[in-house]
Structure 1
Amino acid sequence: MEPKIQKITPNLWFNTQAEEAVQYYASIFQDVKIGRMTRYSKEGFEIHGMPEGTVLTIEFQIAGQEFTAMNGGDAFTFNEAVSFIINCTSQEEVDYYWDKLTAGGDESAQVCGWLKDKFGVSWQVVPVQLNEMLMDEDSTKADRVMRALLQMKKLELSELQKAYEG
Protein backbone atom coordinates (compact mmCIF):
# COMPACT_ATOMS: atom_id res chain seq x y z
CA MET A 1 0.00 0.00 0.00
CA GLU A 2 1.41 3.39 -1.01
CA PRO A 3 1.53 6.10 1.64
CA LYS A 4 -1.05 8.82 1.19
CA ILE A 5 0.56 12.02 -0.03
CA GLN A 6 -1.00 15.34 0.94
CA LYS A 7 -1.68 17.34 -2.22
CA ILE A 8 -0.37 20.66 -0.85
CA THR A 9 2.31 20.84 1.85
CA PRO A 10 3.38 24.17 3.37
CA ASN A 11 7.15 24.59 3.27
CA LEU A 12 8.61 26.81 6.00
CA TRP A 13 11.96 28.38 5.07
CA PHE A 14 14.21 28.97 8.06
CA ASN A 15 17.70 30.41 8.07
CA THR A 16 19.32 27.64 10.15
CA GLN A 17 16.64 26.85 12.77
CA ALA A 18 14.43 24.25 11.03
CA GLU A 19 15.23 21.45 13.47
CA GLU A 20 14.86 23.77 16.48
CA ALA A 21 11.53 25.06 15.14
CA VAL A 22 10.12 21.56 14.61
CA GLN A 23 11.09 20.59 18.16
CA TYR A 24 9.52 23.84 19.42
CA TYR A 25 6.21 23.09 17.66
CA ALA A 26 6.32 19.51 18.94
CA SER A 27 6.54 20.90 22.49
CA ILE A 28 3.43 23.06 21.98
CA PHE A 29 1.03 20.97 19.91
CA GLN A 30 -0.15 17.58 21.18
CA ASP A 31 -0.51 15.68 17.92
CA VAL A 32 2.90 16.12 16.28
CA LYS A 33 4.75 13.54 14.22
CA ILE A 34 8.28 14.17 13.03
CA GLY A 35 9.15 12.38 9.82
CA ARG A 36 12.02 12.10 7.42
CA MET A 37 15.01 14.42 7.48
CA THR A 38 17.49 15.27 4.74
CA ARG A 39 20.90 16.82 5.24
CA TYR A 40 23.15 19.02 3.12
CA SER A 41 25.98 17.36 1.26
CA LYS A 42 29.25 19.21 0.75
CA GLU A 43 27.63 21.02 -2.20
CA GLY A 44 25.26 22.67 0.30
CA PHE A 45 28.02 24.96 1.44
CA GLU A 46 28.68 26.10 -2.13
CA ILE A 47 25.00 26.78 -2.81
CA HIS A 48 23.57 27.96 0.52
CA GLY A 49 26.60 28.31 2.75
CA MET A 50 25.46 25.35 4.88
CA PRO A 51 28.09 22.98 6.26
CA GLU A 52 27.91 19.34 5.22
CA GLY A 53 25.57 17.42 7.52
CA THR A 54 23.39 20.45 8.38
CA VAL A 55 19.66 19.68 8.23
CA LEU A 56 18.21 20.60 4.83
CA THR A 57 14.57 19.52 5.35
CA ILE A 58 12.41 17.94 8.03
CA GLU A 59 8.92 16.60 7.36
CA PHE A 60 6.47 16.94 10.23
CA GLN A 61 2.75 16.92 10.96
CA ILE A 62 0.65 18.95 13.35
CA ALA A 63 -2.83 17.48 13.90
CA GLY A 64 -2.55 15.59 10.61
CA GLN A 65 -1.47 18.67 8.60
CA GLU A 66 1.83 17.99 6.86
CA PHE A 67 4.59 20.59 6.78
CA THR A 68 8.18 20.70 5.65
CA ALA A 69 10.76 22.84 7.44
CA MET A 70 13.95 23.68 5.60
CA ASN A 71 17.19 25.46 6.33
CA GLY A 72 17.77 27.67 3.32
CA GLY A 73 19.86 30.53 4.65
CA ASP A 74 18.86 34.15 5.06
CA ALA A 75 17.54 34.81 1.52
CA PHE A 76 13.90 34.92 2.72
CA THR A 77 12.05 35.79 5.91
CA PHE A 78 8.54 35.15 7.15
CA ASN A 79 5.86 37.85 7.02
CA GLU A 80 2.17 38.19 7.80
CA ALA A 81 1.11 37.46 4.22
CA VAL A 82 0.92 33.79 5.25
CA SER A 83 -0.37 32.62 8.62
CA PHE A 84 -1.67 29.43 10.17
CA ILE A 85 -5.03 29.46 11.92
CA ILE A 86 -5.42 27.48 15.12
CA ASN A 87 -9.12 26.76 15.66
CA CYS A 88 -9.74 26.65 19.40
CA THR A 89 -12.82 25.28 21.15
CA SER A 90 -12.44 27.23 24.41
CA GLN A 91 -10.84 30.31 25.94
CA GLU A 92 -8.45 28.03 27.80
CA GLU A 93 -7.22 26.67 24.49
CA VAL A 94 -6.87 30.21 23.06
CA ASP A 95 -4.88 31.23 26.14
CA TYR A 96 -2.66 28.14 25.94
CA TYR A 97 -1.62 28.63 22.30
CA TRP A 98 -1.36 32.42 22.68
CA ASP A 99 0.93 32.13 25.69
CA LYS A 100 3.11 29.39 24.17
CA LEU A 101 3.50 30.98 20.73
CA THR A 102 4.07 34.56 21.92
CA ALA A 103 6.85 33.45 24.31
CA GLY A 104 9.88 34.96 22.62
CA GLY A 105 7.64 36.08 19.77
CA ASP A 106 5.61 39.20 19.06
CA GLU A 107 2.04 40.16 19.79
CA SER A 108 2.50 43.92 19.88
CA ALA A 109 1.89 44.80 16.24
CA GLN A 110 -0.97 42.40 15.65
CA VAL A 111 -4.74 42.45 16.13
CA CYS A 112 -7.57 39.96 15.77
CA GLY A 113 -5.78 36.99 17.32
CA TRP A 114 -2.71 37.32 15.12
CA LEU A 115 0.80 36.76 16.50
CA LYS A 116 4.33 35.89 15.44
CA ASP A 117 6.23 33.11 17.15
CA LYS A 118 9.92 33.37 18.03
CA PHE A 119 10.87 32.28 14.50
CA GLY A 120 8.70 34.94 12.84
CA VAL A 121 5.97 32.51 11.69
CA SER A 122 2.50 34.11 11.87
CA TRP A 123 -0.38 32.36 13.60
CA GLN A 124 -4.01 33.24 14.22
CA VAL A 125 -5.41 31.85 17.47
CA VAL A 126 -9.18 31.86 17.00
CA PRO A 127 -12.16 30.50 18.93
CA VAL A 128 -14.31 28.43 16.54
CA GLN A 129 -17.40 30.30 17.75
CA LEU A 130 -16.16 33.50 16.08
CA ASN A 131 -17.09 32.48 12.53
CA GLU A 132 -20.66 31.64 13.55
CA MET A 133 -21.00 35.04 15.20
CA LEU A 134 -19.59 36.87 12.18
CA MET A 135 -21.84 34.92 9.79
CA ASP A 136 -25.04 35.57 11.74
CA GLU A 137 -27.93 36.69 9.53
CA ASP A 138 -28.49 39.56 11.95
CA SER A 139 -25.93 42.02 10.60
CA THR A 140 -26.21 44.16 13.74
CA LYS A 141 -24.87 41.27 15.84
CA ALA A 142 -22.11 40.52 13.34
CA ASP A 143 -21.14 44.21 13.19
CA ARG A 144 -20.85 44.41 16.98
CA VAL A 145 -18.65 41.33 17.01
CA MET A 146 -16.45 42.75 14.24
CA ARG A 147 -16.08 46.02 16.12
CA ALA A 148 -15.04 44.16 19.28
CA LEU A 149 -12.73 41.86 17.31
CA LEU A 150 -10.84 44.75 15.77
CA GLN A 151 -10.02 46.10 19.25
CA MET A 152 -8.39 42.87 20.48
CA LYS A 153 -4.93 41.39 20.19
CA LYS A 154 -5.58 38.06 21.92
CA LEU A 155 -9.20 37.09 21.32
CA GLU A 156 -11.41 36.93 24.39
CA LEU A 157 -14.40 34.71 23.78
CA SER A 158 -16.44 36.20 26.64
CA GLU A 159 -16.01 39.72 25.23
CA LEU A 160 -16.93 38.56 21.73
CA GLN A 161 -20.00 36.82 23.17
CA LYS A 162 -21.03 40.01 25.03
CA ALA A 163 -20.73 42.01 21.81
CA TYR A 164 -22.75 39.36 19.97
CA GLU A 165 -25.54 39.41 22.53
CA GLY A 166 -25.59 43.20 22.62
Structure 2
Amino acid sequence: MNNDVKLERSLDHAWRYFELHAQQRMTVFNFFLAISGLVAAGIGISLQQGMSFSFLVSLLGVFLSLISFLFWKLDQRVSLMIKNSEIALIALEKIATTSDASIFSSDQAQSKSTGLLSTWTYGKCFRISFMSVGLMGIVFAAIPYFINLSCKP
Protein backbone atom coordinates (compact mmCIF):
# COMPACT_ATOMS: atom_id res chain seq x y z
CA MET A 1 0.00 0.00 0.00
CA ASN A 2 1.55 3.29 -1.04
CA ASN A 3 1.73 6.43 1.09
CA ASP A 4 -0.97 8.28 -0.87
CA VAL A 5 -3.50 5.55 -0.15
CA LYS A 6 -2.51 5.47 3.54
CA LEU A 7 -2.82 9.24 3.75
CA GLU A 8 -6.22 9.20 2.05
CA ARG A 9 -7.48 6.45 4.38
CA SER A 10 -6.12 8.30 7.41
CA LEU A 11 -7.82 11.53 6.35
CA ASP A 12 -11.08 9.69 5.71
CA HIS A 13 -10.90 7.92 9.08
CA ALA A 14 -10.10 11.11 11.02
CA TRP A 15 -12.84 13.04 9.21
CA ARG A 16 -15.48 10.38 9.87
CA TYR A 17 -14.47 10.23 13.53
CA PHE A 18 -14.75 14.02 13.78
CA GLU A 19 -18.07 14.12 11.93
CA LEU A 20 -19.60 11.35 14.06
CA HIS A 21 -18.69 12.92 17.37
CA ALA A 22 -19.54 16.47 16.31
CA GLN A 23 -23.02 15.26 15.34
CA GLN A 24 -23.25 13.27 18.56
CA ARG A 25 -22.39 16.40 20.55
CA MET A 26 -25.18 18.39 18.94
CA THR A 27 -27.65 15.53 19.48
CA VAL A 28 -26.72 15.28 23.16
CA PHE A 29 -27.18 19.03 23.59
CA ASN A 30 -30.57 18.89 21.86
CA PHE A 31 -31.66 16.15 24.27
CA PHE A 32 -30.44 18.30 27.16
CA LEU A 33 -32.51 21.24 25.94
CA ALA A 34 -35.62 19.08 25.50
CA ILE A 35 -35.35 17.37 28.90
CA SER A 36 -34.48 20.54 30.81
CA GLY A 37 -37.31 22.40 29.07
CA LEU A 38 -39.81 19.73 30.12
CA VAL A 39 -38.52 19.72 33.69
CA ALA A 40 -38.64 23.53 33.83
CA ALA A 41 -42.22 23.45 32.56
CA GLY A 42 -43.05 20.95 35.31
CA ILE A 43 -41.48 23.27 37.87
CA GLY A 44 -43.49 26.21 36.55
CA ILE A 45 -46.77 24.30 36.66
CA SER A 46 -46.00 23.01 40.15
CA LEU A 47 -45.19 26.52 41.39
CA GLN A 48 -48.51 27.79 40.03
CA GLN A 49 -50.35 25.15 42.05
CA GLY A 50 -49.13 26.58 45.32
CA MET A 51 -47.61 25.06 48.44
CA SER A 52 -49.22 21.66 48.01
CA PHE A 53 -46.63 20.84 45.30
CA SER A 54 -43.56 22.30 47.04
CA PHE A 55 -41.94 18.87 47.46
CA LEU A 56 -42.36 18.21 43.72
CA VAL A 57 -40.76 21.59 42.91
CA SER A 58 -37.77 20.65 45.08
CA LEU A 59 -37.52 17.21 43.52
CA LEU A 60 -37.68 18.61 39.98
CA GLY A 61 -35.08 21.25 40.88
CA VAL A 62 -32.69 18.56 42.12
CA PHE A 63 -33.39 16.52 38.98
CA LEU A 64 -32.69 19.59 36.80
CA SER A 65 -29.32 20.06 38.50
CA LEU A 66 -28.54 16.36 38.16
CA ILE A 67 -29.28 16.20 34.44
CA SER A 68 -27.24 19.38 33.91
CA PHE A 69 -24.28 17.70 35.60
CA LEU A 70 -24.72 14.44 33.66
CA PHE A 71 -25.03 16.16 30.29
CA TRP A 72 -22.00 18.34 31.13
CA LYS A 73 -19.98 15.18 31.78
CA LEU A 74 -21.24 13.59 28.54
CA ASP A 75 -20.28 16.75 26.66
CA GLN A 76 -16.80 16.67 28.21
CA ARG A 77 -16.27 13.16 26.87
CA VAL A 78 -17.54 13.95 23.38
CA SER A 79 -15.49 17.18 23.35
CA LEU A 80 -12.36 15.17 24.14
CA MET A 81 -13.11 12.82 21.26
CA ILE A 82 -13.62 15.77 18.90
CA LYS A 83 -10.36 17.37 20.04
CA ASN A 84 -8.51 14.10 19.37
CA SER A 85 -9.87 13.98 15.84
CA GLU A 86 -8.96 17.65 15.31
CA ILE A 87 -5.37 16.90 16.38
CA ALA A 88 -5.23 14.06 13.88
CA LEU A 89 -6.74 16.20 11.11
CA ILE A 90 -4.27 19.02 11.80
CA ALA A 91 -1.34 16.60 11.57
CA LEU A 92 -2.70 15.14 8.34
CA GLU A 93 -3.36 18.61 6.92
CA LYS A 94 0.31 19.48 7.40
CA ILE A 95 1.24 16.50 5.22
CA ALA A 96 -1.51 16.59 2.62
CA THR A 97 -2.57 20.19 1.98
CA THR A 98 -1.25 23.66 1.39
CA SER A 99 -1.37 26.19 4.19
CA ASP A 100 -4.32 27.96 2.52
CA ALA A 101 -6.35 24.73 2.57
CA SER A 102 -5.50 23.82 6.17
CA ILE A 103 -8.92 24.53 7.66
CA PHE A 104 -8.46 22.89 11.06
CA SER A 105 -4.99 24.40 11.58
CA SER A 106 -6.16 27.92 10.78
CA ASP A 107 -9.28 27.52 12.94
CA GLN A 108 -7.15 26.43 15.88
CA ALA A 109 -5.00 29.55 15.54
CA GLN A 110 -8.02 31.85 15.21
CA SER A 111 -9.92 30.46 18.21
CA LYS A 112 -7.17 31.31 20.72
CA SER A 113 -8.68 34.71 21.57
CA THR A 114 -10.46 35.08 24.88
CA GLY A 115 -12.82 37.59 26.39
CA LEU A 116 -16.48 38.40 26.51
CA LEU A 117 -16.65 39.82 22.99
CA SER A 118 -14.40 37.23 21.35
CA THR A 119 -15.78 34.37 19.30
CA TRP A 120 -16.96 31.66 21.67
CA THR A 121 -16.59 27.95 21.06
CA TYR A 122 -19.44 25.47 21.20
CA GLY A 123 -17.88 24.10 24.37
CA LYS A 124 -17.93 27.45 26.14
CA CYS A 125 -21.56 28.07 25.17
CA PHE A 126 -22.57 24.57 26.25
CA ARG A 127 -20.73 24.87 29.58
CA ILE A 128 -22.47 28.18 30.32
CA SER A 129 -25.82 26.55 29.48
CA PHE A 130 -25.17 23.52 31.70
CA MET A 131 -24.00 25.71 34.58
CA SER A 132 -26.94 28.14 34.28
CA VAL A 133 -29.56 25.40 34.18
CA GLY A 134 -27.84 23.53 37.01
CA LEU A 135 -27.82 26.64 39.20
CA MET A 136 -31.47 27.32 38.38
CA GLY A 137 -32.23 23.76 39.48
CA ILE A 138 -30.55 24.41 42.82
CA VAL A 139 -32.54 27.63 43.25
CA PHE A 140 -35.80 25.86 42.41
CA ALA A 141 -34.94 23.05 44.81
CA ALA A 142 -34.53 25.61 47.60
CA ILE A 143 -37.50 27.91 46.84
CA PRO A 144 -40.16 25.86 48.66
CA TYR A 145 -38.07 25.87 51.83
CA PHE A 146 -37.66 29.65 51.69
CA ILE A 147 -41.41 30.03 51.09
CA ASN A 148 -42.16 27.76 54.06
CA LEU A 149 -39.81 29.75 56.29
CA SER A 150 -41.37 33.07 55.31
CA CYS A 151 -44.93 31.77 55.84
CA LYS A 152 -44.34 30.55 59.40
CA PRO A 153 -45.31 32.93 62.22
Instruction: State the TM bucket, normalised to the shorter chain.
Output: under 0.3
More strand per residue: 1
Bigger relative contact order, structure 1 or 2 (CA pairs below 8 A, ≥6 apart):
2
Q: How high is the TM-score relative to the length of structure 2?
A: 0.24
More helix per residue: 2
Q: How high is the TM-score relative to the length of structure 1?
A: 0.23
